[in-house]
Chain A
C-alpha cells in the first residue's frame, strides 16, 4: 500500500499525469466520503475534492509530501477545503472538531471496494424492515423522525430496529474479520 504511494509521488515528480490517475483511483472515493461527513452533501463533496486534486497537481504540492504522509496530507487538505467552503456559505464550522476527523480519516483510508462489498452483503442478510431503517438513517442521513415518516412506522420501531440491525451488522462483519485472519494465518502455516 505504502509502496503505491511512493510510486505515485515518483510519477508526479517526473511530470507524468499517470500518477494522478493512480492517485485518483486510490483516494478519490475515500476523500469524497470524508468530505461528505463535514458537508453532508455528496455532490458538493465531490466538487471540493476535485478542486483539491487540481490544486495538488497545479501547485505541485506533491513536491513537499513524503510518501508516508501522503494520505494524511490529502485528508488534511480536504478537511481545510471543506471548512473554507462551509465558511463561504456561512455555515457554522465550530463543531467540526466534534466530528473527530482523526477517527474519520482512519476509517476513510480503510474503506475500499472490498470493505464496501462485505458490508453490502451483510446488509442484504438483514430482515427487510431492519435493512431499510439502517439505510435511511445511516446511509441517507435521516433523523429517526424522518425515517419513521418515510417508512410509515413509529419512531419507536425505528429506534429498536436500528439498534438491533446495527448490532447484527457488527456481528456479521466481525465474523468476516475473524474469517479473514484465519485465512491469513492458515497461509502462514502452509508456506
Chain B
C-alpha cells in the first residue's frame, strides 16, 4: 500500500510528538477507514521503532544505570544477610581509612593535646555500671568481674560478660515480707543486661536507671525505668508485669518490648515486639499489638500509637546503631549517650539531614564521625570534650 507524502509526514510527526491536532486527526481517520490501513500503520511503526531504537540504543548507559540501581538496592535490602555484607564493606572501607589517617597523623608528628578527646580511642559500652543496694550502698560492676552477693534470701550473681542475675526462692512471689529494692545505674557510655528473680531479662541502654525488687512479691511484678530498656518478660499469667516510667505505666503478661523514656526527652515510646501490652499514660490508655509503637507526649499529655519497623528500634540490643531516615539531631543524641561525649551544632541547617544505615556500636567514635563525614555534607572538629559539627558548604 502506498501512503502519500502528506499522510506519511503526519504519521511520523505524531510518533515524535510533533504533530498538530489536525495531523493527528488525519492519521486517526485514515487508520479507521480500513483494516488494511491499520495493518500498514503497524508495519510502518515496526520499522520506525527499530530505527528509532537503533539510534538511541547506545545513548542509554545501561552499565552506569545498573550500578546506580544496584547500589540503591543494597542500601534498601531488608534481610540481615545483606546488612552484614554492607557492614563488611563499611568496616573494611573504614579500616583502610583509619590506617591511612593514623599514618598521616603519625607522619605529621603533631603533639597530642592532653585535654583533647582522642576520638579513635573512644569506644562505647565501657563505662562502669553501678548497683545501688536498698541501704544506699553502691557497688561498682566492672565489666569483667564475677561476684556473688546475698540480699535477704536472694542470690545476686555476676558472671563475666553475662550481667547480673537475681536468683530467688521459687515461692518468693507469694511471700509478703517487705522486699528490698535495688537500682542499676547505667551511665553514658555504658550498657548492661540483667536477669530479674522471675527470669525476666532486661537489656539496659546507656544513661538508664532501672529500679526493681530483689524478688517479686504480691500480685504484680513491678519495676521502674528511666532511659531505654528492652524487656523480655517471663510468662506468668497470674502475676502481671508492670513497668512504670514517669506518668507512663505498661502492663504485660509475657512479651518482649522496648521502652524509651529518657528524662531529657518529652517523647516517650513503647515498641512491642511480641505479645500484647497495655499502655496507660496520664488519663489515657491503649493496647498495643506487635509491630506497633505507643508514643506519649509528656508536654502535650497525649498518647498516640502508630505502626513501625521494629528492627531499627531494638537493634541497639544486638550491638547495632540502625538509622532509618534519622535526622542528625536525633542521631547525635544516641552517639552522645553511647560514647559519653557532647555534640555542638555550629551550623543549625545540618540538624535535619537524614541518615540511613546500620553500624556496629563496637566501632570507635572516630569511625562513626568519619562515617558521617563521608556520607554527608557534615564536617566535624574536636574541641576539648565536645564534637563540633559544621556544614561543609
A residues neighboring B (CB under 8 Å): 15, 17, 20-21, 24-25, 28-29, 32-33, 36-37, 40, 42, 46, 50, 53-54, 57-58, 95, 98, 100, 103-104, 107-108, 111, 113, 115-116, 119-120, 123, 134-135, 137-144, 146, 159-160, 162-163, 166, 169-170, 173
- Do B54 and A119 have beta carbons less than 8 Å apart? yes
Q: Whole-angstrom distance between the alpha carbons of A115 and B53 in the complex?
A: 9
Which of A40, A46, A58 is B16 in contact with, Cβ under 8 Å? A40
8 interchain residue pairs of minimum CB distance: A139-B55, A141-B16, A119-B54, A143-B18, A107-B49, A116-B54, A111-B53, A116-B57
Q: Whole-angstrom distance between the alpha carbons of A119 and B55 in the complex?
A: 9
B106 at the interface (CB under 8 A from A): no
Q: Whole-angstrom distance between the alpha carbons of A159 and B10 in the complex?
A: 11
Interface of A is mostly: helix
Smallest beta-carbon distance B263→chain A, Å: 38
- Do A139 and B47 have beta carbons less than 8 Å apart? no
A-B contact pairs, 16 of them (CB 8 A): A17-B70, A20-B70, A42-B59, A50-B69, A95-B24, A108-B49, A111-B57, A115-B53, A115-B54, A116-B54, A119-B53, A135-B55, A137-B16, A138-B52, A143-B13, A173-B50
Smallest beta-carbon distance A111→chain B, Å: 5
- Do A17 and B74 have beta carbons less than 8 Å apart? yes
- How many residue pairs, one in A and one in B, have C-beta atoms under 8 Å apart? 136
The interface size bin for chain B is 35 or more
Smallest beta-carbon distance A49→chain B, Å: 8
Smallest beta-carbon distance B355→chain A, Å: 19
Smallest beta-carbon distance B12→chain A, Å: 6
Q: Whole-angstrom distance between the alpha carbons of A32 and B69 in the complex?
A: 14
Contacts beyond the supplied A28-B66, A123-B51: 16 A-B pairs with Cβ under 8 Å: A15-B79, A15-B81, A17-B82, A20-B73, A21-B66, A24-B62, A33-B53, A33-B56, A58-B76, A104-B49, A107-B49, A116-B54, A119-B53, A141-B16, A141-B17, A162-B8
B residues neighboring A (CB under 8 Å): 5, 8-9, 12-18, 24, 28, 42, 44-57, 59-60, 62, 65-66, 68-70, 72-74, 76-77, 79, 81-82
Q: Whole-angstrom distance between the alpha carbons of A166 and B52 in the complex?
A: 12
Q: Whole-angstrom distance between the alpha carbons of A144 and B23 in the complex?
A: 13
- Do A138 and B48 have beta carbons less than 8 Å apart? yes
Smallest beta-carbon distance B48→chain A, Å: 6
- Do B51 and A119 have beta carbons less than 8 Å apart? yes
- Do B65 and A28 have beta carbons less than 8 Å apart? yes
Smallest beta-carbon distance B50→chain A, Å: 5
- Do B28 and A111 have beta carbons less than 8 Å apart? no
Smallest beta-carbon distance B1→chain A, Å: 12
Chain A residues lying within 8 Å of B59, measured Cβ to Cβ, are 42
- Do B56 and A107 have beta carbons less than 8 Å apart? no
Chain B residues lying within 8 Å of A57, measured Cβ to Cβ, are 73, 76
- Do B53 and A143 have beta carbons less than 8 Å apart? no
